[in-house]
Amino acid sequence: MCRHLGYLGPPLPLADLLLDPPHSLLEQTWAPRDMRGGGTVNVDGFGVGWYEDDAEPARYRGSVPMWTDTAFDGLARRQRAGAVLAAVRSATTGMPVVATACAPFAAERWLFSHNGVVAGWPESLAKAAAELDVVDLMTLDAPTDSAVLWALLRHRLRRGADPAEAVAEVVGQVVRTRPESRMNLLLTDGRSLIATTWGHALSVRRTAESVAVSSEPFGEDESWTPVPDRHLVLADRREVRLAPLPEGERP
């Protein structure tokens, strides 16, 4: 499955986060350590979104492995950001390998990533997708489970739903009927991070000035804490809160 990360903290070059640390997201492209049986490498594209000042985020996506994109290497060494969401992709069998299928998905201030798979796709998501506007369906980023999850979440956010509740609801919509799905979601507006664990790894690192969540710990420090499965993570620069997902508590 894919690997993703989110960061909030002092501005730093994207390369300091994504390319240069030991076991960076770049290394997780070709040598991930904890895929839990969902794929082996993450070479079907990548994407990064970042925030500068108070503006809407910028985004860079490509359908090639991160290491082959020399333009990205140059960009990542110059561009600084204090809020970042990035992902490397292992396409689920049958889903297209195109840049638009890569996270982050974006709208207004939001960036979103899904690490996992919706079991029984596409039939299993058809009922949930029927609540979307036709135009939402006609303008999906790509014909993938992740793009439909993003459309479902964006629909709730645009109607003013609480972001954490909206994320938990989208997980619930899927796992109530297909609990074997893998539903690690990650959402940010550049000020807070909302993440879920359902079937995949995730760790959190807090320092005095920053917070990071990542499918696999990167960097040399020992301060990463694994998030238990079936949990919701709410994080900003001041605190990290964990709560069990409602469906995870039901027998």
List contacts with ligand GLN (CB under 6 A): 1-2, 39, 89-92, 95, 101, 114-117, 144-146
The residue (of 4 and 237) whose beta carbon lies closer to ligand GLN is: 4
Q: Which structure tokens are listed for 21?
A: 């640390």
The residue (of 6 and 39) whose beta carbon lies closer to ligand GLN is: 39
User: Cβ(247)–Cβ(173) under 8 Å?
Assistant: no
The residue (of 81 and 148) whose beta carbon lies closer to ligand GLN is: 148
The residue (of 216 and 237) whose beta carbon lies closer to ligand GLN is: 216
Specify the DSSP element, H or E, that contains 126: helix 123-129
Q: Residue 112 CB, nearest distance to ligand GLN (Å)?
A: 12
Q: Name the catalytic one among 1, 2, 66, 86.
A: 2
Give the integer Cα–Cα distance in Å for 33 and 118: 22
Q: Residue 179 CB, nearest distance to ligand GLN (Å)?
A: 17
User: Cβ(7)–Cβ(17) under 8 Å?
Assistant: yes
Q: Cα Rg for the chain, rounded, in angstroms? A: 17
Give the integer Cα–Cα distance in Å for 106 and 158: 13
Give the integer Cα–Cα distance in Å for 247 and 134: 29
Q: Residue 26 CB, nearest distance to ligand GLN (Å)?
A: 17
Q: Residue 146 CB, nearest distance to ligand GLN (Å)?
A: 4
Q: Which structure tokens are listed for 53?
A: 């000042």
3-state secondary structure of 231: strand
Give the integer Cα–Cα distance in Å for 35 and 180: 15
> Is 2 known to be catalytic?
yes
| Catalytic center residues | 2
